[in-house]
Structure 1
């Protein structure tokens, strides 16, 4: 017989106790299904842990950890379903179907909402992820051919110049 934490029990249904933690997990899954219908939901706990760690560290120390790029990549995986490449893979950060995706992150301490893109990379889509001062995260994806001002090897792309996607 399973041990029941009587403080966690919610109600008795169909011969079994349903606990508050089971209800919370069910509601969390429903929220994730609605919020990230195309994404890899297995990445969500890691994303949540890292963004929380970054925020708490900043609140306690006034400094930033060097993990915003990883947060941006996890956001791309869980939101868009991007399959991430191995660390230090050349050309792009991941794949979305047949497209190679470059992921760039605007950090909360950056003075300008822009990223620098190396156009010599092998990618067909660009995802720019923005983490604001309140550690809220959003992303905008664009096809490479639609990136504004595509001259030279390096290009500055402003957040405000990207179409709103999420």
Structure 2
């Protein structure tokens, strides 16, 4: 079962888009809360202002591309709607929409805290915890789990996102030093499934 399966189940059970977005933002379905340790949750939120929706930590404002602030909950709703649209298009036509890179980056923003650079910024897609990150997305059309990136990019980490034929997402972050081909024009990474 994928990371996002419970979102579809919530939709089928009649939860609102806001409730689904809240669950996606925290990664837990409402019926799973009884398994979450309350003391651990409280310890994680201890230094975070309660009304700070746009932050990734205490009092740190979050901005997306070109400085636009956004809500991670809104991004989660957008990702869900785009995935549903792409799945419907495939069911209707037998062809995939070619939106993989954007879906991968939105997933990276939600799941890994990617702070995207402005449009057309060369060398990396954004930062995660202050490190420059390149995001590469593997589409359902690809049968292998390997990616190639130009070694000239100034990224410090590579995030590989895999979207499977059921539109389930999986991702892993690699340090640049873990990639193969350091002496060549291209670096190679592999998301081992």
If the TM-score is normalised by the length of the shorter chain, which range does it land in?
A: 0.7 to 0.9
SS in structure 1 at match of 2:159: strand
**Cα deviation per residue 1:98-137 (whole Å; 9 max; x = unaligned)?**
2111000000011222111111101111110000011101
Task: Determine the structure 1 residue equivalent to 2:105.
Answer: 73
**Cα deviation per residue 1:68-88 (whole Å; 9 max; x = unaligned)?**
100000000011111111222
Alignment of 1:14-163 (within 5 A): 24=16, 27-28=19-20, 30-35=22-27, 40-160=72-192
- Normalized per residue, the structure richer in helix is 2
TM-score (norm 1): 0.74
CA separation in 2, counterparts of 1:25 and 1:40?
Answer: 14
- Computing the radius of gyration from Cα coordinates, the structure with the larger value is 1
Measure how far apart 1:149 and its partner are. Answer: 4.5
TM-score (norm 2): 0.64
Measure how far apart 1:53 and its partner are. Answer: 1.3
In the alignment, structure 2 segments of 5+ residues that lack a partner are: 1-13, 29-43, 45-55, 57-70
CA separation in 2, counterparts of 1:63 and 1:102?
Answer: 27
CA separation in 1, counterparts of 2:164 and 2:109?
Answer: 19
**Cα deviation per residue 1:125-153 (whole Å; 9 max; x = unaligned)?**
11100000111011101111222443312
Asked if structure 2 preserves the Cα contact closer than 8 Å seen for 1:40 and 1:79, the reply is: no
Distance 1:159 1:152, change over 3 A: same
SS in structure 1 at match of 2:187: strand
Greater shift in the superposed pair: 149-158 or 30-39: 30-39
- Normalized per residue, the structure richer in strand is 1
Give the total of aligned pairs: 140
